[in-house]
Structure 1
Amino acid sequence: MHSRLAKFAIGQVVRHRIYPFRGVIFDVDPQFSNTDDYWFSIPEHIRPSKDQPFYHLLAENDESSYVAYVSEQNLVEDETGEPVTHPQAQLIFESFGSGQYKLRPRISH
């Protein structure tokens, strides 16, 4: 598989193109790197190509907070300028400003 550069960055707030949730990116895989069970759990009619970046998000919707694993093609930039309210965001990121989170120094790699 050929991987390409990620369009979105760690600390960036994004939203899902189809489903009503948004989140902050805390890790990026250059291509799909989850289990086959996870892959086949995605409905076939919306299952994305594995040959693209996949993002780990601290995600939230109107009802809950959770961790999501989303293909690049299914993400768009969140234009609200608002931080996420995910309870784990403060553990990974030290601050939020201008629509972007800044990683805590001890987590940077």
Structure 2
Amino acid sequence: MKSRQAKFTIGQVVKHRIFPFRGVIFDVDPEFANTEEWWLAIPEDMRPRKDQPFYHLFAENEENEYIAYVSEQNLLPDESGRPLRHPQIEEMFEPGMDGQFAVKRNAMMN
């Protein structure tokens, strides 16, 4: 399997293609790097390919904030401009340009 270059970047606001959540990318794996148990818990007809980038998100839906692990094929840029409320965003990021986020300098040292 040959991994591809990531389409999205750290600090970018994205939304899920199918499910109603959005978030900020805080890490990228060049290809699947979670457990087989996690992988097999996804219904087979919805399981994404492993040979693509996977993104760690500070994610939120209407009710909750959480950490999500999402394949590139299931993400789209979120250009809504709506604010995000996930509490960990402000620990790592500061507002950047074009509605995206920039990593705080001191966050890189922690």
TM-score (norm 1): 0.94
In structure 1, C-alpha distance between the alignment counterparts of 2:7 and 2:83, rounded to whole Å: 20
In structure 2, C-alpha distance between the alignment counterparts of 1:31 and 1:72, rounded to whole Å: 9
Deviation at 1:95, TM superposition (A): 2.4
Structure 1 residue ranges without an equivalent (≥5) = none
1:38 aligns with: 38
Instruction: Encode CA deviations 1:86-108: one digit per residue, 9 max, x unaligned.
Output: 01101111224421101011334
Runs of 4+ in 1 over 2 A off after TM superposition: 94-97, 106-109
* SS of structure 1 residue aligned to 2:76: strand
How many residues align structurally?
Answer: 109
Identity %: 61
2:78 aligns with: 78
TM-score (norm 2): 0.93
Deviation at 1:79, TM superposition (A): 1.4
In structure 2, C-alpha distance between the alignment counterparts of 1:75 and 1:59, rounded to whole Å: 12
In structure 1, C-alpha distance between the alignment counterparts of 2:86 and 2:97, rounded to whole Å: 16
